Every structure is written in C-alpha cells, then in structure tokens.
A and B are shown apart, each in its own frame.
Chain A
Amino acid sequence: MTSLTLSALLRWLREMPGAFRAQPVGFPGGEVRVRAVLADLWEEVTGQPAPPALLAAFEAQSDGKTERNRLRLLLAAAHILWHPTLRASRPQPERLRRFLIQELPAMAAVVPADSVLDDEERGEELIRLALRAAGLHLEGETAHDAEDRLKQVDSVERHRVLAEAAQRERRAREVREAMARKAAEEAAAKVTRE
C-alpha cells in the first residue's frame, strides 16, 4: 500500500485515467455513465450494492452546466476513492453518502471540476473531503490538523463569506430587472391551470 501523503494523492489525482475525464452521458459528447461508475465504486468500497435511490442522485437531473460540473466532479471524487488505500479503508456508508450527495454537490456549486486537476488547492480540498469520508487522514496529521486544514481550503465557506457584497447587490438588481422585463412578456404555454 502506498503511503498517504498529499503529494502522492495529488499525483494520483493528476494521473486520473481518460474514462474519468470524459463527458458524462446526457451532455454533448457524453461517454461515461456516472451512475455506473459510482455503483461499482460503492459496491467495491462498502461491500454492499448501492441502493437505487442513491444511484438516482448520480444521474443528470437537467442539461445545465452546473449539473454537468457536479457529475464531472463526482467522477474525480470516484477516482480518489478508488485509490488502493481509500478503497481498502471500508468507509462507513453514511459518511460516504454524505460526501457524495451533500458535500460534493456543494463544492461543485462553486468549483469547476477541471480545477481540481489544475489547481493544487482545489485538488487538496477534494482529496481532504474524500479522506474524511473514508475515515482517514494524511500521514503525520491528527484528525484535528486535518479538520483545520480542510477549513483553510474550504471553497464553499469562502464563497459564503466573501466580501462580494457589491457583486451580490449587482446580481440581485440583475435578477430583479430581468424579472420585471420578463413579466411584461408572455411565459410558456401550460396545459393545466393551477
């Protein structure tokens, strides 16, 4: 088994095979079925087949860019969890589930999937989330160190507190104006009354 150092895991991440880099099915040029990848992974690391309700969350829910990004980040996460040491760690299903359906979608909301390969800090963030889900930490770190470091690289928290008050004001105004403008146009035909 390889030692769990950040540099080793970052290398593992950068060497992600083509199958995990491909576009998810449901999007232009889509080749990889994210649901199938996660189903294999789940069964391998937990020793149990994944419940269908869980697997449904690994299907594209829309054709939007944000949805594609979530699925692509899931593939990167699956690759990290596929690392021999993580795979062998037998994570608790509840912990793994929380990572895949809560923490990862939140991260995907603010981090482009490609950046975990190009930007070390984003790679580290995903690796640390995966390690926590697997109940592991890096060599030489305590659980407390690991939590501390995860807080430092937490993009979701940064996004929440960032002093982009001005930017948020601008967005609110944009939405308000768009709503007023579109309210003057017709909407889309609906076959039932509500």
Chain B
Amino acid sequence: MGPDDELTRRTPLLDDAGRAMLRRLREHPDAPRWTYAVGDRLAAEDLPALDRFREQLTAGPVPSQPWSPSPVVLQSVAHALVHVPRYRAAVPAHLDLEHDWNLLPTTCRADLAETPWGFVPDDQPLDRLVIYRTAGTTGHPIAIPHHPWAVACYLPMLEHALAAHGVHLDPAPDTVACALLSFQVRTYTYSTVLSAWAGSGFVKVNLRPTDWPSPDSPARYLADLAPQLVTGEPVVLSELLRLGVRLAPRSLVSTSLALSASLRVDLERSFGCPVLDWYSMVETGPIARSCPVGHGLHLLGPDVFVEMLATDGSAVAPGQRGEITVSGGRNPFLPLLRYRTGDFGRLDHAPCPCGDPMPRVVDLEGRPVVVFRASDGTPVGPVDISRALRELPILRHAFVQHADGACELTVQPRPGDPVPGISEIAASISALFGTQPCTIILSADLPPGEPPFRSELPVGR
C-alpha cells in the first residue's frame, strides 16, 4: 500500500481540502513529533446515519419514566439477548424486560476482560470492527470492540452538550475543530481530519516540551491552529494555565477525571469560555455532561439507560448513592446490559433550574486524580508507571510520591519467576522521573489494602 492508500484507508472520505488541512497540521514549522497515524474510518453511508442520530439528540430528550428503560433501550436489549452469546447464556427467553428488569444479570469490567468476544453479537459483520485498549487508572488493559460510526457519534453528542452551554462550533474544511491535549511522558500523537465535522482538522498533541521543535512551539502551534474546541484531562488543562498558553477556543472540555470547581473557575476566567465536564468511558461512550448552572451532570444519550445499583446488584432507592450502571448504547459490537462502571454517584430526577429535563448524576465519585511529577516538572500518570513496569515479573506494586518529590516503590515479585533486579526497576522509574530520588523495596507480601498509586504532592503544584 502506498502512503495515499494508507491515508484513504484511515480516512475514506478524505478530499483535496482535507489533504491541504493535513499538510497544514503536519508541515507547520512548530508541529510536534507525530507518533501515530489514525483517521475516523468513516464511510459515506455513515454520514446520513450520523445526521439521524444528531436529529434524535436535537429533537429534545424524550422524558421516559425515570426508573425504567425507554422503549428505545428495551428494543435494543431484546435484540442483544438473542444474539450476544454472554447474555443469551445468562437470561431466559421471553423475559418481560420492562416488568422484570431487576432480574437481569449485571456485567462489569472483569467480564469484559475475561471474554470480550462473548459480547459481540452473532449477527454483526466484523469488517468494520476496531479495537480500543483501555487501562483506566488501575488494572490491566482490556480490549474494547468498537465501530467507527459509534465513535463518530461522540461529535453530535459534544455539539449537543456544548449547545446547552451556549457554544456552537462551525467546523469547516479550513478550520481546526478540535485539539486534544495531553501531557505525558509518552503518548500517541497524531493529526487527522474529521469527516463528520465537515473535514475540519483535529490534532492530538503532547504538551511535554521534548515533543516539540522548540520550547515556544506548543504555544505558537496551537495559537496558529486556533482550535474551536480543546479537550483534555483536568491536569492537562491546568498545565495550559501553568505554561501560559494563550488560546481562544469556544470551549474547553475536561475529560476522564473529576474537574474541581476551583480549576473550572480558573480556566473559565483565563480562557474566557465555558468549561464543560464530560463523563464518558470507552466501554459505554459518553454518559453525561455538566449542567450549565452547576447542578451535576445531565445524562446525554437518548439510547442508554442509567441506573444506580447497590453492591448486591439491586436498584438503590430513588436518589440514593449507587454504582452507575449503563444499558443499551450505540456500539453495535458491544450492546450493554447493566454494565457496572465502577463509578458511584446519585441520580437526581428533580427538575433542573437550567431547564434541561434529562436526569442528573450528582455527587459523582469518579476516578480520582492521581498525579506525580518528574524532576523537571512533567506530570507522570499512573498509566505511565504501569506501562514501565508491565514487562517486569511483578505481581503487585505500591507507588508513593512524597511531598518533597521523593518516590518509593514497593513491589511484590511474581512467585515462580526470577526476582526482578532492583537496578532494573530503578532504571525504569528514573526513565520517567528523571533525577527524582526513588527507593525500591522488594516485599514478599504487600498488604492487600495498599493502593497501587498514591501522591502526597501538594495539590495545585
């Protein structure tokens, strides 16, 4: 395959304007190092289906009875029970889903890790399957089957969420619609165009200085691209403040981890635009987005059912704290049946002052922010450390960074394997942390309650 074939395989709807945009993104004198190539994989027939999905979203939410799944979700679950091997094996035929919903089994991340193929419907052709690897902040990476169309549905959902905050995007072939920022020791970076957003440009870049031609490059590059939307984890958005990057996006979207109220206020003041909190998982797709007047996170999808479950799998009383559990969705390779996200919160059906009739997730206890710092100030994430230790014969570990920056890593070697060398472990840590001092401890029995990652660094540093 020639380079152009590769381009059109990744971005089948790429046209001349798109090629010009790619050149602009890639050949810019301040462009960063690109470590990956990826496109949207959208085909022409996906676009009308996306438009229909957009229509469903903008037709307004369909208020359903708060505590039972909507007909849209029920019909998709009815189909999944016939064709998804895992569900077919676990649920008797002809159960009245509306009446006996609470009898349905729940599923969780461990089920997906064990037999991800058991969730793919039998009648689904596999030619458009794509796979995402997701690690979360703990645990082993798992493979999530997905479909490019379902991934592209994120765009109308973002539009819908932004509209609630008074923000409208005008993606066009000569604009950069979105920049996804990260700040990591190592991460995929790429540039592409989004066919579902009029062929506008999209970049995923790493703010780490070593990724760029010069220290001023990130600020110049991003200012020149003028992305209409900037997305990233809260810690990365706070790096934007720290680095003094001047940008004028129409909105910032904070993802993955909890966004604190104080950071939101700082960001809104500095960038002069609304800052949205976005709650989404690879397994489920977008679940909720922040309310413009600060009353939690409104549910997003007309085609998902969100319920809160107690640890024994029963539904909690209305308004009580429970595990956020998702059914339905639009990923044809992974129809969800009571998927337990591992995140907790309460569901509030009371009318919201903002006027949006969709229920809200409140008091969300999502994945906590754990950030470490290398000696040069680069943020290091738990994922970076897991990746560095992955190849070593380690069963469990506990990593702590103390307030003075010094690190301590306790590892429990995997029984039956040669004990890993202290110097080898130290080398993989210093590759991430530079000259930060690090103590390595080998322990035959790490206490079970010890968290794998803990940061004692002062907040906001």
Contact = CB atoms under 8 A, between A and B. Distances in A.
A190 interface: yes
B75 A193 contact: no
Closest 5 CB pairs of A and B: A57-B71, A63-B49, A175-B117, A109-B82, A187-B130
A61 B82 contact: no
Interface in A93-145: 97-98, 101-103, 105-106, 108-110
Given A56-B71, A61-B76, A66-B123, A192 B52 contact: no
B1 interface: no
Instruction: Give chain A's interface residue range (CB within 8 Å of chain B).
Output: 35 or more
A194 B123 CA distance: 28
A189 B192 contact: yes
Nearest to A97: B71
B151 interface: yes
Contacts of A193: 180, 182, 231-233, 255-256
A4 interface: no
Given A178-B126, A179-B116, A98 B96 contact: yes
A32 interface: no
Contacts of A60: 49, 52
Interface string B195-232: 00000001010000000000000000000000001011
Contact of B155 (A70, A157, A182, A191): A191
A54 interface: yes
Instruction: Give chain B's interface residue range (CB within 8 Å of chain A).
Output: 35 or more
Nearest to B64: A53
A194 B366 CA distance: 12
Given A105-B76, A105-B79, A189-B151, 20 more contacts: A53-B63, A56-B56, A56-B62, A59-B52, A63-B45, A97-B71, A101-B71, A103-B78, A160-B93, A172-B117, A175-B117, A183-B133, A185-B130, A186-B130, A188-B41, A191-B154, A191-B229, A192-B286, A193-B231, A194-B134
B178 interface: yes
B275 to A, nearest CB: 14
Interface of B: 10, 36-42, 45-46, 48-49, 52, 56, 62-64, 70-72, 74-76, 78-79, 81-83, 85, 88, 93-94, 96-98, 116-118, 120, 122-124, 126, 129-134, 143, 145-146, 148-149, 151-152, 154-155, 158, 177-178, 180, 182, 190, 192, 194, 202, 204, 229, 231-233, 253, 255-256, 278, 280-282, 286, 302-303, 330, 332
A168 B63 CA distance: 39
Contacts of A186: 10, 36-38, 130
B131 A179 contact: yes
A62 interface: yes
B39 A182 contact: no
Contacts of A98: 96, 98
B38 A188 contact: yes
B11 to A, nearest CB: 8
Contact of B39 (A53, A61, A175, A189): A189
Q: Which of A97, A109, A178, A191 has the most CB of B within 10 A?
A: A191
Contacts of A70: 75, 79
Contacts of A53: 62-64, 70-72
Contacts of B303: 61
Interface in A43-93: 52-54, 56-57, 59-64, 66, 70
A159 interface: yes
Given A109-B83, A109-B123, A194-B281, A187 B146 contact: yes
B85 A172 contact: yes
7 contacts: A63-B46, A63-B48, A98-B96, A105-B76, A156-B93, A186-B37, A192-B154
Given A53-B62, A57-B74, A194-B255, A188 B48 contact: no
A178 B129 CA distance: 8
A56 B72 contact: yes
Contacts, number: 182
Interface of A: 26, 52-54, 56-57, 59-64, 66, 70, 97-98, 101-103, 105-106, 108-110, 156-157, 159-160, 168, 171-172, 174-176, 178-179, 182-183, 185-194
Contacts of B118: 172
A192 B78 contact: no
A96 B434 CA distance: 67
B98 A102 contact: yes
Contacts of B182: 193
B7 to A, nearest CB: 12
B126 A105 contact: no
Nearest to B279: A194
Contacts of B63: 53
Contacts of B85: 168, 171-172
B64 to A, nearest CB: 5
A48 to B, nearest CB: 15
A52 to B, nearest CB: 5
A160 B91 CA distance: 11
A62 B85 CA distance: 21
Contact of B151 (A56, A185, A188): A188
A121 B155 CA distance: 44
Nearest to A28: B45
Q: Which of A108, A179, A190 has the most CB of B within 10 A?
A: A190
Contact of B78 (A52, A102, A175): A102
Contact of B40 (A103, A109, A188): A188
A54 B71 contact: yes
